[in-house]
Structure 1
Amino acid sequence: MQEPTPKGHDLIVDDDRTSITVPALKQAILDNLFYVVGKRAEVATDMDHFMALAYTVRDRILARWLTTKGDYVKHHMRTVHYLSAEFLMGPHLANNILNLGLQEAVRQATSELDLDLDLLIKQESEPGLGNGGLGRLAACYLDSLATLGVPAMGYGIRYEYGMFHQTIRDGWQVELTDYWLRYGNPWEIRRPQADVEVAFGGHTQSWRDPFGEYKVQWIPGEVVKGIPYDTPILGYRSGVANTLRLWRSEATESFYFERFNSGDYEGAVGAKVFAENISKVLYPNDEEIRGKELRLQQQYFFTSCSLQDMIRRHQNAGHAIENFHELCVVQLNDTHPSIGVAELMRLLIDIHGLGWDKAWEITSHTFNYTNHTLLPEALERWPLPMFGSLLPRHLEIIYEINARFLSALRERFPNDEDRVARMSLIDEHGERYVRMAHLACVGSEHINGVARLHTELLKSDVLHDFYELWPEKFINVTNGVTPRRWLAVSNPEQTELMISKIGQDWIGDLDRVSQLERYAEDSAFRADWRNVQYAVKVRLTQYIANTTGIAVDPKSMFDAQVKRIHEYKRQHLNLLYILTQYQRLKKTPGLEIPARTFLFGGKAAPGYFIAKLIIKLITSVAEVINNDPEVNQQLKVVFLPDYNVTFGQLVYPAADLSEQISTAGKEASGTGNMKFAMNGALTIGTLDGANIEIREAVGHENFFLFGLTAAEVAAKKAAGYHPHQIYESNGELREVIDSIVSGQFSRGDRNLFRPLVDGLLNTDPYLLFADYQSYVDCQDQVGKAYSDQEGWSKMSIYNAARMGRFSSDRSIQEYCRNIWNITRFGVDAPQAPAGK
Structure 2
Amino acid sequence: MDLRQGIGLRKLGKTADEFQQDLLSNLYYRRGTTVESASARDAYETLSLTVRDRLAERRARTAAAHYASNPRWVYYLSAEYLLGAQLEQNLLYSGTGNLAAEAVKALGFSLEDLEDLDVEPGLGNGGLGRLAACLVDSLATRDIPAVGYGIRYDLGIFRQIITENGQTELPDDWAFQGNPWEFPAPDDRQTVGFYGHTEPVPGSPDRKVWVPGEIVLGEPSHMLVPGYGTDTVNIVRLWSAKASEASFDLSRFSAGQYAEAVQEAVRAENISKVLYPDDSTELGRELRLKQQYFLVSCSLRDIIRRFRLRNEDWSEFADKTVIQLNDTHPTIAIPELMRLLVDEYELDWSKAWEITRKTFAYTCHTLLPEALETWPVRLIEKLLPRHLEIIYVINMLFLREVGAQFPGDQDRIRRMSIIQEEPERRVRMAHLAVVGTEAVNGVAELHSKLLRETVLDDFADLWPAKFQNVTNGISPRRFIRIANPRLSDLITEGLGDDSWLRDLEKLAGLESLIGDASFRDRWQSIKRANKVALAAGDPDSLTDVMIKRFHEYKRQQLKLLHVVTLYQRIHANPAGDWVPRTVLFAGKAAPAYHAAKDLIQLIATVGATIAADPVASPYLKVVFPSNYNVTLAEKIIPAADLSEQISLAGKEASGTGNMKLALNGAVTIGTLDGANIEIRARVGEDNFFLFGLDAYEAAQARINGYQPRAFYEHDAELRAAIDALGSGAFGDVGHRVASSLLGWDEYLTLADYRAYLDAQAQVEEAWRDRDRWIRMSILNTAHSGFFSSDRTVADYAARIWRVAPVPVPHED
Residue among 694, 718, 721 paired with 1:736? 721
The answer as to whether partners of 2:151 and 2:240 remain within 8 angstroms in 1 is: yes
Task: Tell whether 2:618 aligns with 1:663.
Answer: no
Match of 1:368 in 2: 361
Letter in 2 for 1:789: R
Query: Using the alignment, how far apart are the partners of 2:664 and 2:258 within structure 1?
Result: 58
Query: Using the alignment, how far apart are the partners of 2:520 and 2:416 within structure 1?
Result: 55
Task: Tell whether 2:384 aligns with 1:391.
Answer: yes
Residue among 544, 562, 572 paired with 1:559? 544
Match of 2:421 in 1: 428
Q: CA RMSD in A?
A: 1.6
Gaps of 5+ in 1: 1-6, 545-551, 830-836
Query: Using the alignment, how far apart are the partners of 2:719 and 2:5 within structure 1?
Result: 73
Query: Using the alignment, how far apart are the partners of 1:214 and 1:649 within structure 2?
Result: 53
Task: Tell whether 2:141 aligns with 1:147.
Answer: yes
Query: Using the alignment, how far apart are the partners of 2:121 and 2:57 within structure 1?
Result: 24
CA deviation map 1:237-293 (0-9, x unaligned): 210000100000111215244665688765542321121011111110101111110
Q: Which has the larger displacement, 395-404 or 35-44?
A: 35-44
Match of 2:488 in 1: 495
Residue among 49, 70, 73 paired with 2:43? 49
Task: Tell whether 2:246 aligns with 1:247.
Answer: no
Residue among 767, 774, 787 paired with 1:786? 767
Query: Using the alignment, how far apart are the partners of 2:258 and 2:571 within structure 1?
Result: 68
Residue among 159, 163, 172 paired with 2:166? 172
TM-score (norm 1): 0.95
Q: Quick one: structure 1 residues 214 and 476, their matched pair in 2 at CA, closer, same or farther if it must change by over 3 Å?
A: closer
Query: Using the alignment, how far apart are the partners of 2:86 and 2:126 within structure 1?
Result: 18
Matches within 5 A, 1:729-808: 729-746=714-731, 751-808=732-789
Query: Using the alignment, how far apart are the partners of 1:169 and 1:633 within structure 2?
Result: 22
Matches within 5 A, 1:612-651: 612-651=597-636
1:628 is displaced (CA, Å) by 1.1
Query: Using the alignment, how far apart are the partners of 2:263 and 2:644 within structure 1?
Result: 49
Query: Using the alignment, how far apart are the partners of 2:337 and 2:457 within structure 1?
Result: 26
1:741 is displaced (CA, Å) by 1.4
Letter in 1 for 2:704: A
The answer as to whether partners of 2:126 and 2:548 remain within 8 angstroms in 1 is: yes
Q: Quick one: structure 1 residues 709 and 30, their matched pair in 2 at CA, closer, same or farther if it must change by over 3 Å?
A: same
Q: Quick one: structure 1 residues 214 and 329, their matched pair in 2 at CA, closer, same or farther if it must change by over 3 Å?
A: closer
The answer as to whether partners of 2:640 and 2:666 remain within 8 angstroms in 1 is: yes
Residue among 271, 288, 293 paired with 1:278? 271
1:60 is displaced (CA, Å) by 0.6
Query: Using the alignment, how far apart are the partners of 1:90 and 1:8 within structure 2?
Result: 33
Query: Using the alignment, how far apart are the partners of 1:827 and 1:8 within structure 2?
Result: 16
Residue among 556, 565, 568 paired with 2:553? 568
Which secondary structure does the structure 2 equivalent of 1:444 belong to? coil
The answer as to whether partners of 2:43 and 2:104 remain within 8 angstroms in 1 is: no
Match of 2:317 in 1: 324
Query: Using the alignment, how far apart are the partners of 1:608 and 1:13 within structure 2?
Result: 56
1:693 is displaced (CA, Å) by 0.1
Matches within 5 A, 1:300-379: 300-379=293-372
Residue among 393, 396, 416 paired with 2:409? 416
Letter in 2 for 1:57: V
The answer as to whether partners of 1:147 and 1:235 remain within 8 angstroms in 2 is: yes
Match of 1:581 in 2: 566
Query: Using the alignment, how far apart are the partners of 1:180 and 1:687 within structure 2?
Result: 37
The answer as to whether partners of 2:49 and 2:181 remain within 8 angstroms in 1 is: yes
Fraction of identical pairs, as percent: 49
Residue among 82, 98, 123 paired with 1:88? 82
Q: Quick one: structure 1 residues 275 and 794, their matched pair in 2 at CA, closer, same or farther if it must change by over 3 Å?
A: same
Q: Quick one: structure 1 residues 233 and 733, their matched pair in 2 at CA, closer, same or farther if it must change by over 3 Å?
A: same
Task: Tell whether 2:84 aligns with 1:103.
Answer: no
Residue among 117, 128, 139 paired with 1:123? 117
Match of 1:706 in 2: 691
Which secondary structure does the structure 1 equivalent of 2:621 belong to? strand
1:48 is displaced (CA, Å) by 2.0
Which secondary structure does the structure 2 equivalent of 1:205 belong to? strand
Task: Tell whether 2:801 aligns with 1:820.
Answer: yes
Query: Using the alignment, how far apart are the partners of 1:318 and 1:795 within structure 2?
Result: 54
Query: Using the alignment, how far apart are the partners of 2:151 and 2:113 within structure 1?
Result: 29
Which secondary structure does the structure 1 equivalent of 2:745 belong to? coil
Query: Using the alignment, how far apart are the partners of 2:250 and 2:284 within structure 1?
Result: 30
Q: Quick one: structure 1 residues 8 and 412, their matched pair in 2 at CA, closer, same or farther if it must change by over 3 Å?
A: farther
Letter in 1 for 2:740: G
1:332 is displaced (CA, Å) by 0.0
Query: Using the alignment, how far apart are the partners of 2:9 and 2:805 within structure 1?
Result: 31
Letter in 1 for 2:217: K
Query: Using the alignment, how far apart are the partners of 1:15 and 1:204 within structure 2?
Result: 53
Which secondary structure does the structure 2 equivalent of 1:664 belong to? coil
Letter in 2 for 1:618: I
Letter in 1 for 2:264: A
Query: Using the alignment, how far apart are the partners of 2:620 and 2:402 within structure 1?
Result: 59
CA deviation map 1:185-232 (0-9, x unaligned): 1011111111110100000011323xx654310010001111110111
Match of 2:152 in 1: 158
Query: Using the alignment, how far apart are the partners of 2:740 and 2:189 within structure 1?
Result: 50
Query: Using the alignment, how far apart are the partners of 2:343 and 2:525 within structure 1?
Result: 65
The answer as to whether partners of 1:101 and 1:237 remain within 8 angstroms in 2 is: no
Which secondary structure does the structure 1 equivalent of 2:225 belong to? strand
1:776 is displaced (CA, Å) by 0.3
Which secondary structure does the structure 1 equivalent of 2:160 belong to? strand
Q: Quick one: structure 1 residues 766 and 10, their matched pair in 2 at CA, closer, same or farther if it must change by over 3 Å?
A: same
Query: Using the alignment, how far apart are the partners of 1:101 and 1:501 within structure 2?
Result: 22
1:742 is displaced (CA, Å) by 1.7
Task: Tell whether 2:164 aligns with 1:204.
Answer: no
Task: Tell whether 2:233 aligns with 1:238.
Answer: no
Q: Which has the larger displacement, 409-418 or 684-693?
A: 409-418
The answer as to whether partners of 1:8 and 1:827 remain within 8 angstroms in 2 is: no
Letter in 1 for 2:690: L
The answer as to whether partners of 2:135 and 2:789 remain within 8 angstroms in 1 is: yes
Q: Which has the larger displacement, 246-255 or 175-184?
A: 246-255
The answer as to whether partners of 2:82 and 2:121 remain within 8 angstroms in 1 is: yes
1:139 is displaced (CA, Å) by 0.2
The answer as to whether partners of 1:481 and 1:671 remain within 8 angstroms in 2 is: yes
Letter in 2 for 1:798: L
Which secondary structure does the structure 1 equivalent of 2:5 belong to? coil
Gaps of 5+ in 2: none
1:540 is displaced (CA, Å) by 0.2
Residue among 663, 677, 682 paired with 1:697? 682
Query: Using the alignment, how far apart are the partners of 2:342 and 2:9 within structure 1?
Result: 46
Letter in 2 for 1:232: L
Letter in 2 for 1:620: T
The answer as to whether partners of 1:208 and 1:214 remain within 8 angstroms in 2 is: no
Which secondary structure does the structure 1 equivalent of 2:545 belong to? strand
1:521 is displaced (CA, Å) by 1.6
Match of 1:10 in 2: 5
1:321 is displaced (CA, Å) by 2.6
Q: Which has the larger displacement, 585-594 or 223-232?
A: 585-594
Which secondary structure does the structure 2 equivalent of 1:81 belong to? strand
Query: Using the alignment, how far apart are the partners of 2:75 and 2:33 within structure 1?
Result: 39
1:32 is displaced (CA, Å) by 2.1
Query: Using the alignment, how far apart are the partners of 2:733 and 2:494 within structure 1?
Result: 54
Letter in 1 for 2:278: N
1:15 is displaced (CA, Å) by 5.0
Which secondary structure does the structure 1 equivalent of 2:30 belong to? helix
Query: Using the alignment, how far apart are the partners of 2:3 and 2:259 within structure 1?
Result: 53
Query: Using the alignment, how far apart are the partners of 2:669 and 2:609 within structure 1?
Result: 25
